[in-house]
Structure formats: structure tokens, C-alpha cells
Structure 1
């Protein structure tokens, strides 16, 4: 009742002196400070965490492997989310207004889509790489080379960028939604509508590599279980050195597959609710409340901060690399040849 009697002056606008400005519905001071802290922390963690991953892999020669190049490229996608997407989304989410211009609104959405798809296709190629490494660890180095890794990286980036910029840049996503877009358009808003056809394409581009990863990692863990049983059954027997070496290599590759499998699960948990909601929204007339949408978006964004934490938890060599970077030891001569695996248990 009281809200119906509020005078017009009580309504805040994103741009007070502009006609057609969006209505501003900011949080009260307490929640605003908390949200800025939470979102800002996520952006900082994303930027510096992934920067550490990229520096570690690119600086230390011992980490120059095809798999790690894929991981560094994946970290680059997450790093760019922290630089080009999260800071601007922080202001939009807390202030309920877009202050960065109509042009960057489009770029912001293009970056968001590009880096999301780049991440999932990198993860898809990493899962195939791990499958080869676990099933045949001795032949693996000749099958998945640096050149093959480069092709996977190029495909992931080109497909993601070309698709996202073509879809949103041409306005194809708004076809058939002209009335809705017109009604939602106001100065200080940044809402991107995607029609039913393209939202299904978006979901398929997410779901197909997701399904491939689930199948591949299921096979990896079945094979890993069989290998573990084989090693256990042979533990009390005299085995040839070749078999012993093969088992040690297989154990190392299984550890890497497990760690990267956790990264895949984290990605799916973060992004799947967002994609499911986008499909439901498109077919039910965009009924998702703004606060629900913001929650789903930020759960997805925070995935970009999770991978460095996963690597730090499971990889002793990454923790050692972080220490060397933070203390400035990487600036010393020949620091790139430091042995990161000494005294590291796999």
C-alpha cells in the first residue's frame, strides 16, 4: 500500500537527466558493501589466480607439455572473464544499471559467450588428451603432440569467438523478439534477449561437448580402476622394469585425469543451471526474476576462479611455482630450468 503512495521523486533513475532512463533499484548500503566485496573478490581471484597458472606454465620449461598448453589457454579464457566481464557485471548487479555504454554492452555479452564456449571446448579436448594418456601412457607422447595441442587451442578460440560475435553482432539472437526488446530498451540497461531457435543452438553447443566429457571421463575412471587392480595384483610379484615404469606413468596420468575431471565437474555445476534456465526462459516468456538470473550468472562467473584453486590443492608443482613467482625467484637467471617436480609426490 505504501509503495503505491510514493511520490514520483522517490523513484530513482539510472540517469536522472535523460529521458527514457531505466529505473534504478539499488541495494541499501549494507548489502551493497557486501556484494561489492564478494563480487570484487571473485574478480581479483580470477585475474590473479589464472595469471599465476599462465606464468607458471609459460615460464617453467618443465611444464611445456601439450596438456599444460591447453591448461594455460583455458586459464587465459578465465583470466579474460575476470578482466573484461566480471568488473562490469559487478556494477550492473549491485547498482541495477549499466553505465558503460550501449556498444560495450554488446561486447560484454560477446566476451561472456566467447570465453564460456572457449572454456568448455578446451575442457573437452583436455578430456580426450587424458583418455589417450591413461589408456596408452607410453605411446601418448607421440599421439598428442604440441602441434595437436595448438590445433585444439585454435579451434576452441576461433569457434567460440566467431560464433558469439556473429550471433550477437548481427542481432540474429533478437529475431522475432522485436516487441520485447523495444519494451525492455532504456538508457542504462544491458539486457540481451535470445530467441528460442538460437537458445537451443547455444544449449547444444554446450551440451554436446559436455556429453562427450561425461562419457570420456567415465571410461577413464573405469580404466583407472582396472589399472589399480592390476598394479595391486602384481605388487607381490616380480615384474619387469618396463612394466614397473608403465605402471608409474599410468599412476601419474590417472592423478592428472582425476584433477582435471574435478575441474570439469566444477565447470558443469557452475554453468549447467544457467544454460537450463536460459532455455526455460526463452520458451516460457522470460519469466526468471532478475535476482535469480544474477545468482545464476555469478555462480557461472565464479567458475573462472575455481580452476587455480583446484590446481593449487592437487598439484604440488603448482604450489612450488606460485612460491617462486610470488617471491620473485622467477626473475633470476636460468629460473625457467628449476625442477618443480623434485620432492613432489604424485
Structure 2
């Protein structure tokens, strides 16, 4: 594929992804190392922040190179690649959104019930929430990709997966 065939918006997105790749990897790895190394940072809230960092890290390590290479090699015209890319993107986004929701709920309960919150089962909640959020996200997004690969049944799915040729 010639660079002329890629539209200007796509070139701008690729340049932005290339510029943000290293700082994103560095920042998220730094967060994970800090949480893992320092005992006082190993709190339920920081566990959720770590999950958010893992989600961002997986997104940038898998989807960013996939998008850049896919644009130049015209892999977005290959239906299997396109469905994998869009399903993965949706799954990682859903994990991030669920984690931010859990962080918001955790902060709400810590402010609303400060004394009960300290004695609560936050550690258990976080230990259960993290794998469940990944499983739910991967299953839902894999299933939606399977529906779209056969025949789009809803307008939202057909619009999202309509880019796949």
C-alpha cells in the first residue's frame, strides 16, 4: 500500500499512536512496578489502578502495533484481522470502563462510610472483581465478534463491525 492511499486522518492517528507508544508503556510499567515493589501501595484501590494499567498496557502493546502494521499492509481488509482487532479493542475498553466504575464505587463507599469501609471486605472484592471483569469483557466481545462475522443483528454491531470487509 502506498502512503498516498492512506487518508490524512489515518496518518495523523498513526503518528499520534507512535508518539504516545513509549510514554504509555513506560508509565504503565512504572505503575505496576511501584505497586508490586512497595508494600504500602498494595491496597485495594491500587489493585484496581494496577488493573487499569494492565488494561492500558495490553491495549498499547497489542492494538497499537496491530493498527499501524494493519494500515500499511491493508490488513483492515482481511475480515479475520479486522474482527480480531475490533473485538480486542472493545474488550480492553470494557475492562478499563469496568475498572473505572469499580474505582468510583470504592471511593464512594470510602467517603460515604469511612469507618465501615476500613473493616469491609475490599480485598476480597478486588480479588474477585479483576478476573471477573476480564472474563466478562473477553467473553462478551468475542461473542459480539462472532455475531458480526456471521451476520450483524443490531445496528450498533453492524456499524462497529461494518468497517470489516
The question of a shared fold, defined as TM-score above 0.5 by the shorter chain, is answered with yes
TM superposition score normalised by structure 1:
0.41
Task: Please state how far the C-alpha of 1:99 moved relative to its aligned partner.
Answer: 7.8
Match of 1:57 in 2: 35
- Aligned residue among 11, 25, 30 for 2:5: 25
Task: Please state how far the C-alpha of 1:45 moved relative to its aligned partner.
Answer: 2.3
Match of 1:116 in 2: 93
Q: Paired residues, what number?
A: 160
Match of 2:102 in 1: 125
Which moved further from structure 2: 65-74 or 101-110? 101-110
Match of 2:20 in 1: 42
- Aligned residue among 172, 181, 190 for 2:147: 172
Q: Distance in 1 between matches of 2:22 and 2:65?
A: 9
Q: Distance in 1 between matches of 2:77 and 2:149?
A: 21
TM superposition score normalised by structure 2:
0.79
Q: Are 1:196 and 2:154 an aligned pair? A: yes
Task: Please state how far the C-alpha of 1:53 moved relative to its aligned partner.
Answer: 1.2
Task: Please state how far the C-alpha of 1:198 moved relative to its aligned partner.
Answer: 5.8
Q: Distance in 2 between matches of 1:83 and 1:164?
A: 19
**Runs of 5+ unmatched residues, structure 2:** none
**Runs of 5+ unmatched residues, structure 1:** 1-13, 16-23, 177-193, 200-277, 291-346
Q: Distance in 2 between matches of 1:122 and 1:25?
A: 38
| Structural mapping, 1:156-305, within 5 Å | 156-168=133-145, 171-176=146-151, 194-196=152-154, 199=157, 281=159
CA 1:78–1:100: 2 relative to 1, 3 Å: farther
Task: Please state how far the C-alpha of 1:146 moved relative to its aligned partner.
Answer: 1.2
Q: Distance in 2 between matches of 1:119 and 1:165?
A: 16
CA 1:99–1:107: 2 relative to 1, 3 Å: closer
How big is the alpha-carbon RMSD for the aligned residues of Structure 1 and Structure 2?
3.1
Task: Please state how far the C-alpha of 1:174 moved relative to its aligned partner.
Answer: 4.3
CA 1:41–1:172: 2 relative to 1, 3 Å: same
CA 1:88–1:67: 2 relative to 1, 3 Å: same
Q: Distance in 2 between matches of 1:82 and 1:100?
A: 22
Counterpart of 1:138 in 2: which secondary structure? helix
Match of 2:129 in 1: 152
RCO higher in structure (CA 8 A, sep ≥6): 2
Q: Distance in 2 between matches of 1:54 and 1:162?
A: 25
- Aligned residue among 129, 141, 146 for 2:118: 141
CA 1:122–1:82: 2 relative to 1, 3 Å: same
Query: Which whole-Å deviations, capped at 9, do the CAs of 1:59-101 have from their partners, x for residues lacking one?
Result: 11110101110110111001000000012212445x3822896
Match of 1:210 in 2: none
Higher helix share: 2
